[in-house]
Amino acid sequence: MYRTHTCGELRKSDVGQTVTLAGWVDSYRDHGGGLFVDLRDRYGKTQVVFSSDSGEETQKLSRSLRNEDVIQIIGKVDPRPDGTVNPKLNTGEVEIKVEKLVILNKCKTPPFFPGQQDMPGEDLRLKHRYLDLRRQQMQQTMLLRSKIIKLMRDYFEQHEFIDVETPILGRSTPEGARDYLVPSRVHHGEFYALPQSPQLYKQILMMAGYDRYVQVARCFRDEDLRADRQPEFTQLDMEMAFCEMDDIIGIIDGLVTKVAKEVHGVDVTGPLPQMTYDEAMERFGHDAPDLRFGMEITDATDLAAEAEFRVFKAVADAGNRVRGICAKGAADKYSRRLIDDMTSMVQDDFGAKGLAWFKVEADGTLNSPIAKNFTPELLAKFKERFAAEAGDLILIVADKFEVTCKSLYGLRKKLGAELKLYDPKAMHFSWVVEFPMFDYDEEEGRWVAMHHPFTAPRPQDIELLDSDPGKCRALAYDLVINGSEAGGGTIRIHDNATQQKVFGLLGMTEEDAKERFGFLLDALQYGAPPHGGIALGIDRWVMLFGYLDNIRDCIAFPKTQRAADLMTEAPSAVDRKQLEELAIKVLRLDEVKK
């Protein structure tokens, strides 16, 4: 038997027992008379002591121990002498007097120690992930992840959902990203696509009568990675038949309540608040607003239209918008230089033409380089509109609606964090609903699906599919946690005609649609129930519930920003023979047609 107890288990009540422990040498201290080792496993640490009582041979062997060696010891549980109890350790009242030591595996000097205070660089951590995963923080995160997934599985099982696995080697399903392709050896020149999500399979399951489906599903999207995305990620994917939007939202509200309670002991009472997409864009400039704090966007386009100030007036006259936020008490926290930095941020990152600002002085007047362009009456109106008081800082962007949204969202996010407007441990859950069906892609000159092409329009908007697709709203809903999209889903189209029409609007000819989604269009004609679903981003849930900010810390073996696995060095070149079997020839970069 390698061990009778774990390294986190022994207490004062075990004193006198002979035990066997196994684990890693976390640290060692040679005190002349004896060697003290902290032995570690994922359950904790136990102090083990080698002294002359251990016998000469064992004591000698113990002197060769180094950090991260894997050892097994047999010894007697002793109370720690008075004054040496360590209240920080669960096992801090006892120590083991070692009688026998077995070195199971020596550790070379590692590139970093799991217990070291200063965190090693991320590339090093990813390359030696086995060392990194030994760190306490990583182990806690992996436990949290396992707990959240179990809570989800249990919850859906209680609600009669059936876990069905769907293929990894399949056909391209459009979530709007680039596919990862897998060449077929049997069908030369043909490819499988790794699933961007199980979307179409889960819809087919509804048509097959499985009524409530759930899966912890791996999804693959070959995108240039943003900070909080991974090419390979995990979703809690679900679908229900004979349901409306409220049924799905209700199920997820229940899940959120359960996870919040079990993970943080917090009571979240449903139903979670909902806001329409339009309202979210008006009030927060984003479809995943952070509702942990206020500082909402205020519109002042009507006031700008009255101004002599050319910049504002021109924007208002052109039908664009003048909007801003008021940061309470922030006037003296933001110097001219810091405001210049914010100006560069909105210009460089969001394409704004500029950033106007006003500081409210102690006497209530508005101070700004542009103040001279406004009458005192108009300045007073601005102040009132923003509910600004002495010491406040007003930031205004005058531009196209989308540019004001992006800029003010960015500024609100930055200022919210810098001014500490929320408790970093607080969690806020809400829904954004009624998304537009389509976005217009200027470059391609066509509509693209805002969620995916299987999303149903609101029944009252069906006519708009013909007359004004841009105005058509979808039966779509996103779950938002602390300003992050934590899940998204829709009610699906369940009739062939509407589905064909939407494909058409997305620029697909009938033949294209048939070629790519013939099976779906067929199934829609063989008894398709009304259905809908949602997918929750598990990696992101772990990040949010763990108060972490790096998605890679929530995944045991993640990819870098450049989609590489530094430990196994994937992707890698393959043998010529493998390529020949696949009838694939790799071109040099300069042979690739641009």
**Least CB distance to ligand ASP at residue 239 (A):** 7
Residue 217 contacts residue 256 (beta carbons within 8 Å): no
**Least CB distance to ligand ASP at residue 488 (A):** 5
Q: Between 114 and 489, whose beta carbon lies closer to ligand ASP?
A: 489
Q: Considering Cα of 48, then 52, then 57, then 61, what sign does the dihedral take?
A: positive
Q: Between 295 and 476, whose beta carbon lies closer to ligand ASP?
A: 476
Residue 244 contacts residue 491 (beta carbons within 8 Å): yes
Q: Between 213 and 334, whose beta carbon lies closer to ligand ASP?
A: 213
**Least CB distance to ligand ASP at residue 243 (A):** 12
Q: Between 244 and 317, whose beta carbon lies closer to ligand ASP?
A: 244
Q: Between 172 and 490, whose beta carbon lies closer to ligand ASP?
A: 490
Q: Considering Cα of 84, then 87, then 90, then 93, what sign does the dihedral take?
A: positive
**Least CB distance to ligand ASP at residue 261 (A):** 25
Q: Between 5 and 202, whose beta carbon lies closer to ligand ASP?
A: 202
Determine the 3-state secondary structure of 452 from DSSP. coil
The alpha carbons of the chain give a radius of gyration, in whole angstroms, of 30
**Least CB distance to ligand ASP at residue 175 (A):** 5
| CB half-sphere exposure, 334, CA atoms < 13 A | 27
**Least CB distance to ligand ASP at residue 532 (A):** 8
- How far apart are the C-alpha atoms of 434 and 459, rounded to whole Å? 12
DSSP state of 81: P
Q: What Å distances lie between residue 445 and 218, 439, 442, 506, 507, CA to CA?
A: 33, 11, 5, 10, 10
Q: Between 128 and 492, whose beta carbon lies closer to ligand ASP?
A: 492
- How far apart are the C-alpha atoms of 477 and 450, rounded to whole Å? 11
Q: Between 175 and 262, whose beta carbon lies closer to ligand ASP?
A: 175
Q: Between 203 and 407, whose beta carbon lies closer to ligand ASP?
A: 203
Please return the burial class of 130, using the count of CB atoms within 10 Å of its CB with bins 0-12, 13-18 and 19+: exposed
Does the N-terminal peptide bond of residue 174 adopt cis geometry, omega within 30 degrees of 0? no
**Least CB distance to ligand ASP at residue 533 (A):** 4
Contact residues for ligand ASP, defined by CB under 6 A: 175, 197, 199, 488-490, 533-535
Q: Between 131 and 524, whose beta carbon lies closer to ligand ASP?
A: 524
Among candidates 554, 470, 481, which has minimal Cα distance to 137?
554
**Least CB distance to ligand ASP at residue 173 (A):** 8
- How far apart are the C-alpha atoms of 301 and 411, rounded to whole Å? 19
Q: What is the DSSP string of 184-210?
A: -SSSTT-EEE--S-SHHHHHHHHHTT-
- How far apart are the C-alpha atoms of 12 and 3, rounded to whole Å? 19
**Least CB distance to ligand ASP at residue 546 (A):** 22
**Least CB distance to ligand ASP at residue 197 (A):** 3
- How far apart are the C-alpha atoms of 312 and 300, rounded to whole Å? 10
